[in-house]
Structure 1
């Protein structure tokens, strides 16, 4: 039986399936008696709500305001949820973390790296594993179109291509790239198996 608890982060561009996959991974782990909490950023804090309004196009924020709001929300996330959950002995399965902020808010790869360093300088905990649900911007766009819903500020093809390139530039070398074109149950099973290996050390 796994003896330790860890921090697992799921990343990917819009439409890659990270929210669905991370939720299901959390649920499967619970059925295997692995105590964990599914968590997502942005949170429901006042900063997280501001971010959602921005993403939905209801609020204008400059790049710097976006970065500052994400960092403020992350401070709430880390202090109110991530650290207390890990301290209680549960693992955290998280949908988006500071890699998202760097990829989405970075003008280019160099700026994305700067944003990453700003987050790391805050002393936010480093994940034990990062899973990147790898899907081309074109395939992700097809998925977003087929599922419908309101357009968001990053939906433009050029924006998704920029975000994807930023991700490739800033993700840690240890990142596990997961083929997001595979069947959902295969993707979930792959991630669960890898998390169990990590927990067993």
Structure 2
């Protein structure tokens, strides 16, 4: 994945990643609010996007009401990102910043870490999607995130899967656009280091 873009008027694509209950949704809102406050045009999105047809299937899978083969689940998560790829690209080209709660890195980390699919196979399905300009990984101790409200409600919300997912996330830290942030701090402090 590359993040070099030639259009100077292009919006910034900012992605927040992290294990479950690490604070991504809250930090996405804080970034969005900040960008709006300084006069930037900005939208928020999230993956999975549970409002699309594919997203509705994924919602059932995550809530453990339907079962999917591992490969099918990964392909559906990827398809969910493809459903919004043109929307994201169009906004970026029009100078609109996009703040995204989870993206391709989550797909790879969860599919290869939690359900043991081949890392390279998972990564190959993401090729061609819009590349982020900045990824902020919210690094948090799993004992803290697992104690947060709602942990355990969804299929991968258990310590074993979260540990495996965390290990895969660490393989992305060599990307120049990847930033690890200590998410165990006060939410108002966490992003000031980025």
TM range (shorter): 0.7 to 0.9
Shift of 1:173: 2.4
Shift of 1:60: 0.3
- Where structure 2 has 5 or more consecutive residues not aligned to the other structure, the ranges are 1-7
Tell me which residue corresponds to 2:45: 39
Tell me which residue corresponds to 2:133: 128
- When the two chains are superposed, the root-mean-square deviation of aligned CA atoms in Å is 2.0
Answering whether residue 85 of structure 2 is matched by residue 93 of structure 1, we say no
Shift of 1:113: 3.7
> CA 1:113–1:183 in 2, change beyond 3 Å: closer, same or farther?
farther
> Hey, what's the Cα distance between the residues in 2 that align with 1:70 and 1:148?
21
> Hey, what's the Cα distance between the residues in 1 that align with 2:159 and 2:73?
20
Task: Give the one of 142, 163, 166 matched to 1:164.
Answer: 166
Aligned 8 A contact 2:70 2:117 in 1: no
- What are the superposed Cα offsets for residues 161-190 of structure 1, whole Å, 9 maximum, x if unpaired? 111111112455221001101111112444
- The alignment partner of 2:125 has SS state of helix
- What are the superposed Cα offsets for residues 81-125 of structure 1, whole Å, 9 maximum, x if unpaired? 2012112210111111000000111147882343123212xx111
Tell me which residue corresponds to 1:12: 18
> CA 1:190–1:25 in 2, change beyond 3 Å: closer, same or farther?
farther
- What are the superposed Cα offsets for residues 112-158 of structure 1, whole Å, 9 maximum, x if unpaired? 343123212xx111111111000122221122xxx247621111210
> CA 1:17–1:156 in 2, change beyond 3 Å: closer, same or farther?
same
- Where structure 1 has 5 or more consecutive residues not aligned to the other structure, the ranges are 192-201
Task: Give the paired residue count.
Answer: 184
Tell me which residue corresponds to 2:60: 53
Aligned pairs for 1:67-78 (under 5 A) are: 67-78=74-85
Output the TM-score relative to the length of structure 2: 0.87
> Hey, what's the Cα distance between the residues in 1 that align with 2:118 and 2:152?
28
The structure carrying a bigger helix percent of its residues is 1
